[in-house]
Amino acid sequence: MGYQEIIAYGIVILAVAFLIKKSFWKSKNNKKGSCGGGSCGCS
Amino acid sequence: MKNIINVALIGNPNVGKTSVFNALTGLNHKIGNYPGITVDKISGDAKLSNDVLAKVIDLPGTYSINASSLDEKIVLDLLFNPQHKEYPDVVVVVADIENLKRNLLLFTQIKELGIPSVLAINMADRMTEKGISLDVKQLEEKLNTKVVLISAKKKQGIEELKAAIIDFRNYSTEPSVNATAAASEFFGKLALTYPTEPIYKLWMIYSQDLEIGSINKSSIEEKGIQLSESEVKRLQQKKTIKRYQFINDLLKEVYKKDIKAATDLLSKADRILTHKVWGYVIFFAIMLLVFQAIFTWSSIPMDWIDGLFGSLSTWIHEVMEPGKLTELIADGIIPGIGGIMPFIPQIAILFMFIAILEETGYMSRVVFLMDRLMRPFGLSGKSVVPLISGNACAIPAIMSARNIENPKERLLTILVTPFTTCSARIPVYIILIALVIPDTKLFGVIGLQGLTLTLFYLLGFLAALVGAWILKFFIRSEKKSYFVIEMPNYRMPIFKNVVSTMYEKTKAFVIGAGKIIFFLSIIIWFLGAHGPGEKYENAEEIVTEQYKGQSVSEKELEDHIAGYKLENSYIGIIGKSIEPVIKPLGYDWKIGIAVISSFVAREVFVGTLATIYNVGSSGEEDEDGTIKQRMSAEVWPDTKEKVFTLASGLSLMVFYAFAMQCTSTVAITRRETKSWKWTIFQLIFMTAFAYLAAMLTFQFLK
């Protein structure tokens, strides 16, 4: 297997991992929301 | 001896506080017709009567009392600290007669601080020309305060305001709305622990993490009063909803705006723009103009970007060594990304027009028009905002349905919002319209392509209305909520705001779509450039043997080999297996793969097709071919008829108009409804409906 194949298949594995992560892992990053979301603190 | 009192002027930006300040003090501070003129507090002396002098402090304009900006911090520092040498004896809340709803939110917050308050409603001289009537007496009773109508510019009502200020000791310091009922246990504990402090002040210290005097968040928590961060947010939300409920109910009773009675030019314009017939005709004409511009203005940059990516693929093949990495970049990633990038001009133009319409104040009129249209279909007035904002993206639109208090109305709105035409549908519509709708003009004026795009936008909206009408028989709601909207004044759009909105929204689209397409094109390339078994491995020999003795050029033979390999690749096998299901809709297996992959996000459709066509071509002369040319050249292998015809193109567009092709929307529906039942129902209903409608379209037109 040449360098091109190693890199190309490595990228494919990364792409699959990214899509799996995006589909099944929830982001824990809780950003402050907008006023419409009621989380801006405008009480 | 003269009596000297401290008076604080507070209000939303651009309500004319500085004009009131100048009228009271006789000074001449700079005023302007845009928000934010007062950025620091300024003070001046005013003679209220022979015996009473006042030190008037003009505070920066603020929408609420939060310590989120420097301006608001100045307001807080003064109002929360009785030891402050300028601590007001009385607060004059200046409001604008045309924007009372927003202004009253701030007033109810100020009233909770326990400082005597006067509500000065400015620009009252416009009431007649704007057709506004206000029951001042009832407003005073409900707000538990003194209300004065003034026109600072015309110096009307200033003497009454001065008299009202002098009389401040007679005003109630009780809140207008008991927002603490939102969490009586928490606020009860606060009141018992700090009996001399206003509850709202303690709440602000706790929720905004402030320190006033010796009290701060930690000292409150040390007394055993504690809430988690999410509980604080929930409570803030509850309190805001409670305030708005109170304000909405109040305004319904005391504030009437009859645009028919208004006499000024802009009100006359409003009467036409919100007319029950002309309003819709004008809106349709504006939409048509926008979509015409999208097609006309974007064709040159679109072709240029499209060609650029085609050339980039050829260049990569030329400069890199042949191999899998070269193929991945040149035949997978570049065509995939290049499939979506040509749509940047269209998206940018669309957002530019939306920003202009919002900036001028016209969008609020559209919301008003739509409210009237939606009611017969069982949607509440508050569904207007989600359904209008769904034209940009369904995700924030569904989230904005949180403002609908009635759970059934909210569910109904969430279920139908994804029908509205989000920006992700634009690439699909534009490429298909360009392929199957002739670039001709109706009556020599209206471009057929722009008209088709407009009609598909309306189709999405109509689907949402009809969907709501059907669902209202299953999700019954007895009480309808009302929607109060402020009609902002018309104004010239601010160039900087338009450009910044256009840039931000386009960037969000490109990055959001680009990321998914980037990774999907890698996977699609892999599945298309690899295959199981001997058919894929020996494609060259098999095809050469098939065409032995036939007069085919070398280029044609290579195309046949590439096509054969693609059919026997992993993606070809998957595509062929679903072909029987999608054939009645007029799609071949390649379109089927694009439809399936675009379940992640609709815009993936074009990128997927670009990658498939690139993998399935010989990679020689047609490298420079744009995605449009490649789609146009696609034929059915058996009949040699074109794949993209009027029937199949419209069928695809109808499918995308109705189908739930967006995993993020599925996720957000689940989160917002907290119900898998409704999420799955929405997904199945939309997909099944889309399938049936697309099939009927194709069968009828073929």
pLDDT digits (tens, 9 = 90+) for B14-25: 788 888 998 898
CB contact under 8 A, B522 and A15: yes
Which residues in chain B are closer than 8 Å to A22, comparing Cβ atoms?
516
B366/A contact by beta carbon, under 8 A: no
Contact of B647 with B430, CB cutoff 8 Å:
no
Would you state the pLDDT for residue B696? 96
The residue among B600 and B243 whose pLDDT is bigger is B243
CB contact under 8 A, A19 and B520: yes
* Residue whose structure tokens are 């292998």: B637
Helix axes B229-254 and B100-111, enclosed angle (nearest 10): 120
Quote the CA–CA distance of B514 and B336 in Å, as a whole number: 9
Would you state the pLDDT for residue B40? 60
B321/A contact by beta carbon, under 8 A: yes
Helix (H) or strand (E) holding B226: none
Helix (H) or strand (E) holding B122: strand B117-122
The answer, yes or no, to whether residue B405 has pLDDT greater than 70, is: no
| Substitution target from B324, B398, B399 for chain A, most A beta carbons within 10 A | B324
- The residues in B 39-98 lying below 8 A from A, measured between CB atoms, are 63-64, 66, 68
Q: 3-state DSSP helix/strand/coil percent for chain A, to nearest 5?
A: 60, 0, 40
Check the annotation: does B332 bind a ligand: no
A20/B contact by beta carbon, under 8 A: no
| DSSP 8-state symbol, B601 | B
A29/B contact by beta carbon, under 8 A: no
Going by pLDDT thresholds of 50, 70 and 90, the confidence category of residue B456 is: very high
- The alpha-helical segments, DSSP class H, found in B274-343 are 278-319, 324-327, 334-340
Kindly state the average pLDDT of the residues B77-99: 87
A17/B contact by beta carbon, under 8 A: no
Helix axes B265-273 and B362-374, enclosed angle (nearest 10): 40
Would you state the pLDDT for residue B567? 85
Q: Which of B122-126, B235-239, B620-624 has the lowest mean pLDDT?
A: B620-624
Check the annotation: does B391 bind a ligand: no
Q: How is B380-416 classified by DSSP, letter by letter?
A: -GGGHHHHHHTTT-HHHHHHHGGG--SHHHHHHHHHH
Which range among B38-42, B314-318, B393-397, B582-586 has the greatest average pLDDT?
B582-586
CB contact under 8 A, A43 and B179: yes
Check the annotation: does B59 bind a ligand: yes
B178/A contact by beta carbon, under 8 A: no
Secondary structure of B4-64 in HEC code, one letter for each residue: EEEEEEEECCCCCHHHHHHHHHCCCCCCCCCCCCCCCCEEEEEECCCCEEEEEEECCCCCC
Q: What is the ipTM of this complex?
A: 0.72
Distance to chain A for B364, nearest Cα, Å: 16
- The alpha-helical segments, DSSP class H, found in B112-157 are 127-130, 136-143
B526/A contact by beta carbon, under 8 A: yes
The answer, yes or no, to whether residue B101 has pLDDT greater than 70, is: yes
Going by pLDDT thresholds of 50, 70 and 90, the confidence category of residue A29 is: very low
CB contact under 8 A, A38 and B240: yes
Check the annotation: does B559 bind a ligand: no
Q: Residue A14: closest CA among chain B residues belongs to which residue?
A: B519
Check the annotation: does B123 bind a ligand: yes
Q: Residue B203: closest CA among chain A residues belongs to which residue?
A: A43
Which range among B57-66, B229-238, B292-301, B568-577 has the greatest average pLDDT?
B568-577
Secondary structure of B406-446 in HEC code, one letter for each residue: CHHHHHHHHHHHHHCCCCCHHHHHHHHHHHHCCCCEECCCE
Going by pLDDT thresholds of 50, 70 and 90, the confidence category of residue B38 is: very low
B334/A contact by beta carbon, under 8 A: no
Mean pLDDT for all residues in chain B: 84
Which residues in chain A are closer than 8 Å to B410, comparing Cβ atoms?
none
Going by pLDDT thresholds of 50, 70 and 90, the confidence category of residue B281 is: very high
Q: What is the pTM of this model?
A: 0.63
B111 closest CA partner among B158, B180, B43? B180
Quote the CA–CA distance of B555 and B552 in Å, as a whole number: 8
What is the rounded (10 degree) CA torsion for B621, B625, B627, B628?
Answer: -130
Four-residue CA torsion sign, B386, B255, B139, B26: positive
CB contact under 8 A, A9 and B324: yes
Q: How is B465-528 classified by DSSP, letter by letter?
A: HHHHHHHTTTS--SSPPP-----PPP-PPPHHHHHHHHHHHHHHHHHHHHHHHHHHHHHHHHHH
CB–CB contacts below 8 A, A to B: 79
Check the annotation: does B20 bind a ligand: no
Exposed, middle or buried: residue B392 (CB in 10 Å: 0-12, 13-18, 19+)?
buried
B17 closest CA partner among B62, B52, B54? B62
Going by pLDDT thresholds of 50, 70 and 90, the confidence category of residue A24 is: low
Which residues in chain A are closer than 8 Å to B607, comparing Cβ atoms?
none
Quote the CA–CA distance of B672 and B681 in Å, as a whole number: 14
Q: How far is C-alpha B299 from the geometric centre of its chain's CA atoms?
A: 27
The answer, yes or no, to whether residue B582 has pLDDT greater than 60, is: yes
Distance to chain A for B78, nearest Cα, Å: 19
Percent of chain B past pLDDT 70, that is, above it, reads 92
Quote the CA–CA distance of B635 and B643 in Å, as a whole number: 5
Indicate the residue type of B543: V
CB contact under 8 A, B399 and A7: no
Distance set, CA A40 to CA A35, A37, B205, B404 (Å): 5, 7, 16, 17
Helix (H, G, I), strand (E, B) or coil at B282: helix
What is the rounded (10 degree) CA torsion for B371, B374, B379, B380?
Answer: 20
Check the annotation: does B38 bind a ligand: yes
The residue among B479 and B350 whose pLDDT is bigger is B350
B522/A contact by beta carbon, under 8 A: yes
B120 closest CA partner among B189, B42, B56? B56
Which residues in chain A are closer than 8 Å to B208, comparing Cβ atoms?
41
Contact of A11 with B522, CB cutoff 8 Å:
yes
Distance to chain B for A20, nearest Cα, Å: 11
Q: Provide the token pair at B450.
A: 């722009």
The phi, psi pair for B642, rounded to 5°, reads -65, 140
Would you state the pLDDT for residue B59? 84
Would you state the pLDDT for residue B483? 62
Check the annotation: does B444 bind a ligand: no
The answer, yes or no, to whether residue B615 has pLDDT greater than 80, is: no
Four-residue CA torsion sign, B310, B315, B316, B321: positive
Instruction: Output the CA angle B629-B634-B637, nearest 5 degrees.
Output: 160
Check the annotation: does B240 bind a ligand: no
Domains and CATH numbers, chain B: 3-170 (3.40.50.300), 179-273 (no CATH), 279-471 (no CATH), 511-701 (no CATH)
Kindly state the average pLDDT of the residues B126-137: 87
Quote the CA–CA distance of B355 and B392 in Å, as a whole number: 11
